[in-house]
Each structure stands twice: as structure tokens, then as C-alpha cells.
Structure 1
Amino acid sequence: MDAENLMQEKKYMISALVLFITSILWPIITEAVWFNIVVQIREAINTGDSGQLILASATSSILFTTQNTLLFLSVVVGGRLLLNQWILKENILLIVQITCFVMLNIIISKMLSIPWEPITTIVAMISSCYLIRKGRRQSHYFFQSTVVSIQVFFAFQWLNIMPIFSVYRFGQSDIPISIKIAGVYLNSSSVLNFIGFSFFIPLFFSAVITSTLFQSHAQNIAIVKENYLKERALESMKTKAMGNRVYLEINSLAHDLKTPLVTIRGLNSLLLISGNQEKLQDYCNKIENAVEKMSEMVTSFLYGSSRQKMKVEKLITYIRAQIPVEDEKLKLEIDIEEGLSEIYVNKVRVVRALINLIENAIIVPCNDTYKKIIIEVKGFMGGIRISIIDNGMGIKPSDLPHVWEIGHSTNNTTGLGLPFAKQIIEENDGKIEIASILEEGTRVNVFFPSVDREIEE
């Protein structure tokens, strides 16, 4: 058991003890007030003023309520301590609390000669336990118990001064009996019954409403906490998934860098055995081109804002070299319009984005015997439109608005390909849109402005 739990249990023990001692001392502390109630009853009889009788009823109800609430809260806090230690289950705990409450009332009444009302007190205690039962493990449980129990005990104490309930053994202690006898003497029994109901009904229903509000508040907090934890878990998953995507992109870059490295190594070995000056010059030029290509790749990958002018045909050729055409069930068609203007993009990143889109099109299942991918490149509204068309299963209309969300996938993948592609394309002043027909296929359109248009803007 850690130090925090020990401190909490110590706090519960001290609180329960303080409440219990206060409930015992309460009749002694308020002895003068009890005596004043007797005086008010006598004045009511002597003067015929039923108002004094009502005032005496209210005072006695407040005193009984305070004592019973203090004792009840001491039992509640003690029960919370037992519940935290898992000594008792909640249903058994309720029985133990009721038993302890009744026994303590009997002991205090016998030892200190303090009157108590068994029926209304026990019924009020059971009602309070029922109303606060769902908040036992909430942080505001003590506050909830206090507010609800005060209303419940105060409501039931008013039943003790109602002559109509005397036949049911309500109000059998000295003060309530004196009030009811005085009421009969003053012909005010109906007044006492009316006042009793007027306080009992609003107070009891107020306790029920208060308890419901506390429970609703606790449920709302629980839902908010649950949603917060789910959100954090989802963010963590997205972060990990994005980390995996970055790792894959680095692997792809490493694969792209391998080709010029092999070229450099091969040419370097030829330099060692070649004596021809012309060939040496040619090899040196090729090595220089390979190094420049590597430098361009690294710069483009490390600096997203690094862009250069390039012909779209060169971009597509670079992409074409990285598509797995050895698959016999894959048919790839590339349709490039002639005379297209140049675009201004980060070559490495845009290539990776377009390859992601093509890979998505490849892995989507289809009903045909072969997968057909069409890459269509045409001029469009002062720029270039690259369309990737497949004959896959298509996307449900309900899923289309969510395809750009991180983690959303219809193919049991990470759900990062499309969001990654969209981000890269938009970073290069491009636009991307997707259209799909279920069971027929999907078309992804990527638009880049031409160099001339960017200069004009």
C-alpha cells in the first residue's frame, strides 16, 4: 500500500471519528435550544398561538436532522474506508452501514438518554443510502452524501410532528408527542399535518433531483475522461503510425540512393583499369552526375521547401522506374499529352506522394482477372493534371469524406498513404481530389500549376 493511500485512509478514519464524536456531543451542545422548544410549546398553549407550535416543530426537526446527519455521515465515511480496502462488497456494505447506524442510535439513546425516532430515522437512512449508492467511488461523494442526507433527514423529521401518522408509531419521543398534544389542544392538528406535508414533499423530491443531478454529473465526467483517454490513445497510435511512415519513406530514399552509389562504385573501378583519356573524362562526368543526383535527392528529402523546375515527363519516367511491372496480373498504361509546361515541385517528395497513390491503387482488390492502372497526364486549367485510375472495388460513398483522415483505411492498411500524399501535394501548391464508383473503380486527380502560372501569381 503506497503512502498516498495510507494518507487517504487516515483522513477517512479521522473524519469518521470527528463526525461520530460531534453527533454524540450535539445534544449536549444544543441543550439550551432543546429547553427553548419546551418553552415555545408552553407559550403556544398559554397564548393559543399555533405559530409558536410551528416554530417549535421546525426547531426540533433541525436539531434531529443535524444529529442524524452527523451520525449518518460518520457511518458513510467509515463505509468508504472499508470499500477502498475491498473488505466488503457494496451490497454487504449497505447492510453493515444500516446495522451500524441503528445500533449506534440505540447505544447513544440508552447511554446518554437522548431520544430518537426509530421509524423515520431508519427510513430516512435507507432512502439516503439508496440515493447516493451510485456515487460511492466518486471524488465528490462526501459532498453529495451531505447535501442529499440533510434534505432527506429534514424531510422525514417533519413526519414526526404530524398527528395523522401517530397511529403508525411516528413521533414517539417527548418533543414530537408534546407538539402533537398541544396541536390537539389548540385544534391545530390539521395545520401540523399541512405544514408537515408542505415540508416533506418538496424536500424529499429535492433530494431525489439533487441525487439525479450528481449522478448525471458523475456520468458526464466519466464520459469526458473516457473520451480523453481514447483520444490520447488514438493520437499515440497516429504518432507511431506516422513514425512508421517516415521510416518507410527513409527506406525508399535509401533505395533510390543505392542506384547512383552503384554507378559511382562501378565507374570508379573502371577508372583504375582504364588508360583511355576519353573514357576517363566520360567516367568522371558520369560520376559527377551521379553525385549531383544523390545530392539533389538528399536535399529534396531534408528540405521540404526545396523545389525545382522540371518537365512532367521526367517526373513520370522517374515514377515508372519504381513501379513493380513484373506482376503478370498488373497492366499499367501511361498516357502523357505532348507539349506540357514545366512544374515547380520538390521532386523526391512529390514522386513519393504519387507512388503512394499508385501503390494504393495496386493493392485494392478487383473483380477482374487483372488489375489495370492508368496514369493519365494532361494539361488542365493552366497547369498539369495527373490522374491515377484503377478498376478496383471502389470506395463506399459513406467512406469518401474520411479517406484523408489519418488512420482511416478500407484495405486493412495503416491509413497513412492518402493523408501523406495530400500533405505533400498541398505543400507543393497542388490539389488532390478523389472520385469513386463502388464495384467499378477509383480515380484520383492531382493538379499542379505550371511554372508560368506560378510566376504570374
Structure 2
Amino acid sequence: MRRNKIFMVGGILLIGLGSLFPLITEAAWFNIIFKIRKAINAGDSGHLILAAASMSFLYAMQSTFLFLGTILIIHYSELERIFSRFTTSIIFFLIIFLHIMNFTISGLSWEPVSTILALIIALFIFEKLFWKTNSLLHVSIVLIQVFFAFYWLNIMPVFSPYRIGQSDISFSIKIAALYLQASSVLNFTGFAFFFPFMFSAFTTTILFISYSQNMNMMKENYEKEREIQDMKAKVLENRIYKEVKSLVHDLKTPLVTIRGLNSLLALSKDTGKLEEYSGRIDNSVDKMSEMISNFLYETSRQKLQATELINYIRAQLPLEDESIKIEIKIADKLPDIRVNKIIVARAVINVLENAMIVPCKHAYKNIIFEAKPACNGLYIMIQDNGIGIKRSELPRIWDVGYSTNNTSGLGLPFAKQIIEENEGAIDIVSEPDCGTVVSIFLPSVDSFSSSSC
């Protein structure tokens, strides 16, 4: 509301400036008359052109002030809301009324025909420009060009039969040109200014609109990017929650073991059994401590048998869906590896979960989970018979948030990050309608001491 009042006050000041403009620029108008006399005395039509330029500029500035003032008052008041269907007509007639009032008060004659023509074009451009850019500065720049161009028509003798250029000064310039036999010079000069300035006005309008649209597009893209980042942050929070939930689920097994053994301790009187139960409780506590440490310290790695990692992954597989058949192939001799078991297992499980949720055209979804020794490491393969991935989409599957099946788009980037942090590698080969193969390599403990297979 306060902003509207400020603009309305600005509009009143502009109308006041436009109304007082002839009095403020009285010296400039006398200078125009002086140039006309000088042109007659010197026989030089150049002074007439200077007089015409000064007159057109003064008329253009006055009309621009009145136009902008009227726009501000109408646009930022209740009038636009009340007379929304007739706003343009109200602006048009109000500006004409202000010109007539100004002529009555100041005594300076005005040019009704050229002013009306300029107003029609100015209102047309205003409707296109202001609602696109919402910038009064842009509107002002274009308005000055339009009014300046049309007021050049007033000094052209060729338009005299059409009641254009009937004010005292315009008529004096044309009479002087007739006396100096320079009417053709004024006609040529008028066209030389009219067409370039009109072309400039429309070109400037197009440029301003284009600039405004580009800025709005950039703003929209920024807002969308921020929304995407917010969405990714929320999805990441959900991912962390899921990992924590998985860890809590894993911790339940040793906790149940501890609870059961503790109840047996209370019942047992056999000293040998007490020692056995105590040792098993210690092992369960160690497992819990290891799980928590692995989760809290992602960079920590432990030496373990690959079979231990594979068994841990198998224990986490969700097998509730009867339409999914998982074939597990585990080689007899797997190498020892040095990885963060909990985190790497979650990475592999993410890949398996992706294979489970990918759309499939077959009656059953077949997934092959294979683990076997490789050159200086462990090779894990996860293959599905889903719809596959297009070649054009393969380079983007590692991008955070990108997904081909309406998921969070965090599973594969998470898996890639974890595998590479554990000095491994992950690769995907896929063909549309043929399925996808994900290959994971984890280096063995002694891989750095051996450079060949």
C-alpha cells in the first residue's frame, strides 16, 4: 500500500512537471524563435533544422512526463481495478485532456493530430512492454523515442493538408522554409528522423521484452534448481534415515543374542557353560561395536574374508516379492579384502534393490548375484532381465538425483562413491529390453604387493 502511494505521488509530480514544462523551458522556446529569425536573415535552412529538433524534443519531453504521470496514477490506484476494461481509453482521454488544459493555462499551442497518433502507438507499446518488464525506465526510454519521432512530422510541409503542424512555431518553421525554398529539405529531414526513431523504438521494445523474458527464465530456472536441491537434500535425509534404520535392524541380532544368553546365565549353574556364554556375549558386543564404528567412520576399513561380506549382504536381501527370483552364485575360494563391511554392503544392496524395482516385461524378474575371485581382487556381478537403460542415459546414471524409473536417484551415486572410496570400481553395461549388468571390483588385501595376476 505504501509503495502504491509513493508511485501515485510520483505520478502527480510528473503531471505537475509536464504542466509547468512550458514555463520552465520558456527560454528554450524563445531560442527556437530566435533560430527561425536567424535562418531567415542568414538564408540558412540549417538553423530551421536546429529549431525543429529543439521544438520536437521539448514537445516529446512534455508528452512523456504527462504520459508517465497518468500511467502511475491510474496503475497504482483503485481506478485500474474499478475500470479495468476501460483503462487504456481512460489513459488516452486523460492525457489529451491534460494537453488541452496545458494549452489553456500556458498559452503554448499544441499539436492534436501528431499527439493523438503518437499516443496510440505509445499506448500500444506500453501494453506490450510494461506488463512484460514492469520497468518504468524501459517505458520512458521508448516513449521519448516515439514522441520525438512523431513530433518531427509537425515541421514537414507535406503533411500540412492533414492538419499536422498547425501550432504557431511549427507553422513559422514551415513558412520560413517556404521563403528559403527549403520545404523539400524539411520533408527529407522529417522522414530522416521519423523512421529511424520509430524503428529504434520498436527494436528497443523487442530487446527489453527479450531481456525481461530471459531474466524471468533465469529466475524460474534458479527457483527450480533450488527446489531440486531442496528435494535432493530431503531425499538424502531419507537415505540417511534408511541407512540408520538398516543399522538398527542389524544391531537387533546381537542384542537378541545377548539377551538370550544373559537369561541362560541366570539359569545355568554349570561353570563351563558360564564361560561359553560369556565368550559369546563378548563376540556379540564386538559385532555391535564393529557395526557402529563402520557406520560412524566411513573411511575405516577392516581385513576380512570376502565370504563374510557376501554372507552379510545375503542376510540383508529383501525376498518378500514372489515375482522376483534371485540366483546366487558364490565361488568356493574368495580372496581376503580390506573394506568397510557395513558401508560397502549397503552400497551393494543399493544396486540389488535397483535391480529389484526396475520394470520388467517378463512374468518373473530374474536377478543373478555372483561373487568370484578376480585378478588381485573380488568380482561381484549383479544382472537383471529388466527393461534396461538407453545408451543416451548411461552417462547420467551416476548423477545425483537422476533416475530412469522414478526413484530418488541416489542409490547408484551412493554405491559408486562408496566403492571408489574403498579403492574399488563399478561399471554398468545395459541394453534396452535386454537387461542390465552391474560389475563391482574390490581389491584384495595383497593386491598392492602384486602387480600382475
TM-score normalized by structure 2? Answer: 0.94
How much does 1:80 deviate?
A: 3.1
- Which stretch has the larger CA shift, 134-143 or 204-213? 134-143
Query: Aligned-residue CA RMSD in angstroms?
Result: 2.1
Whether 1:128 and 2:122 are equivalent positions in the alignment is yes
1:128 is matched by which residue type in structure 2? A
Mapping for residues 71-220 of structure 1, pairs under 5 Å: 71-82=66-77, 86-89=81-84, 92-137=86-131, 141-220=135-214
Kindly indicate whether the alpha-carbon contact (under 8 Å) linking 1:135 and 1:218 is maintained by their aligned counterparts in 2: no
In the alignment, the residues of structure 1 paired with residue 359 and residue 170 of structure 2 have an alpha-carbon distance, to the nearest angstrom, of 84
Assess, with a 3 A threshold, how the Cα gap between structure 1 residues 85 and 302 changes in structure 2: closer, same or farther: farther
Which of 348, 356, 365 is the aligned partner of 1:362?
356
In the alignment, the residues of structure 2 paired with residue 343 and residue 88 of structure 1 have an alpha-carbon distance, to the nearest angstrom, of 80
2:148 is matched by which residue type in structure 1? F
Per-residue CA shift, 1:322-351, capped at 9, x if unaligned? 224465444332223343322211110111
| Residue 58 (structure 2) aligns with | 63
How much does 1:168 deviate?
A: 1.1
| Residue 271 (structure 1) aligns with | 265
How much does 1:85 deviate?
A: 7.2
Which of 220, 225, 228 is the aligned partner of 1:231?
225
How much does 1:10 deviate?
A: 2.3
In the alignment, the residues of structure 2 paired with residue 146 and residue 456 of structure 1 have an alpha-carbon distance, to the nearest angstrom, of 77
Kindly indicate whether the alpha-carbon contact (under 8 Å) linking 2:129 and 2:205 is maintained by their aligned counterparts in 1: no
1:401 is matched by which residue type in structure 2? P
Assess, with a 3 A threshold, how the Cα gap between structure 1 residues 30 and 321 changes in structure 2: closer, same or farther: closer
In the alignment, the residues of structure 1 paired with residue 44 and residue 363 of structure 2 have an alpha-carbon distance, to the nearest angstrom, of 102
In the alignment, the residues of structure 2 paired with residue 423 and residue 311 of structure 1 have an alpha-carbon distance, to the nearest angstrom, of 22
In the alignment, the residues of structure 2 paired with residue 44 and residue 279 of structure 1 have an alpha-carbon distance, to the nearest angstrom, of 127
Whether 1:429 and 2:423 are equivalent positions in the alignment is yes
| Residue 14 (structure 2) aligns with | 19
Per-residue CA shift, 1:340-387, capped at 9, x if unaligned? 322211110111111111122123343444332212223334222211
In the alignment, the residues of structure 2 paired with residue 176 and residue 363 of structure 1 have an alpha-carbon distance, to the nearest angstrom, of 82
Kindly indicate whether the alpha-carbon contact (under 8 Å) linking 2:132 and 2:213 is maintained by their aligned counterparts in 1: no
User: Post-superposition, which runs of at least 4 consecutive aligned residues in structure 1 deviate over 6 A?
Assistant: none
| Residue 322 (structure 1) aligns with | 316
How much does 1:135 deviate?
A: 3.5
Which of 322, 342, 345 is the aligned partner of 2:336?
342
Which of 11, 25, 29 is the aligned partner of 2:24?
29
In the alignment, the residues of structure 2 paired with residue 178 and residue 381 of structure 1 have an alpha-carbon distance, to the nearest angstrom, of 101
SS in 1 for 2:380: strand
- Which stretch has the larger CA shift, 333-342 or 381-390? 333-342
| Residue 42 (structure 1) aligns with | 37
Which of 223, 226, 235 is the aligned partner of 1:241?
235
1:18 is matched by which residue type in structure 2? L
SS in 2 for 1:443: strand
Q: Which runs of 5+ in 1 are unaligned?
A: none
Per-residue CA shift, 1:68-115, capped at 9, x if unaligned? 1211121122233138974453x6322221111111111221233221
Kindly indicate whether the alpha-carbon contact (under 8 Å) linking 2:416 and 2:426 is maintained by their aligned counterparts in 1: yes
Per-residue CA shift, 1:247-297, capped at 9, x if unaligned? 111111111000000000000000001011111111011000000000000
Kindly indicate whether the alpha-carbon contact (under 8 Å) linking 2:118 and 2:147 is maintained by their aligned counterparts in 1: yes
In the alignment, the residues of structure 2 paired with residue 369 and residue 146 of structure 1 have an alpha-carbon distance, to the nearest angstrom, of 69
Per-residue CA shift, 1:153-185, capped at 9, x if unaligned? 111111100000111111011111111111111
In the alignment, the residues of structure 1 paired with residue 48 and residue 285 of structure 2 have an alpha-carbon distance, to the nearest angstrom, of 105
In the alignment, the residues of structure 2 paired with residue 329 and residue 387 of structure 1 have an alpha-carbon distance, to the nearest angstrom, of 21
Per-residue CA shift, 1:8-40, capped at 9, x if unaligned? 112212211211111111111222222232232
In the alignment, the residues of structure 2 paired with residue 197 and residue 27 of structure 1 have an alpha-carbon distance, to the nearest angstrom, of 26
Q: Which runs of 5+ in 2 are unaligned?
A: none
In the alignment, the residues of structure 2 paired with residue 455 and residue 100 of structure 1 have an alpha-carbon distance, to the nearest angstrom, of 92
Kindly indicate whether the alpha-carbon contact (under 8 Å) linking 1:80 and 1:136 is maintained by their aligned counterparts in 2: no
How much does 1:145 deviate?
A: 1.6
SS in 1 for 2:316: coil
How much does 1:139 deviate?
A: 6.7
How much does 1:311 deviate?
A: 1.4
How many pairs align? 451
Kindly indicate whether the alpha-carbon contact (under 8 Å) linking 1:82 and 1:88 is maintained by their aligned counterparts in 2: no
SS in 2 for 1:24: helix
How much does 1:433 deviate?
A: 1.2
Kindly indicate whether the alpha-carbon contact (under 8 Å) linking 1:15 and 1:77 is maintained by their aligned counterparts in 2: yes
In the alignment, the residues of structure 1 paired with residue 318 and residue 366 of structure 2 have an alpha-carbon distance, to the nearest angstrom, of 13
| Residue 407 (structure 1) aligns with | 401
In the alignment, the residues of structure 2 paired with residue 276 and residue 85 of structure 1 have an alpha-carbon distance, to the nearest angstrom, of 96
In the alignment, the residues of structure 2 paired with residue 133 and residue 355 of structure 1 have an alpha-carbon distance, to the nearest angstrom, of 60
Kindly indicate whether the alpha-carbon contact (under 8 Å) linking 1:13 and 1:81 is maintained by their aligned counterparts in 2: yes
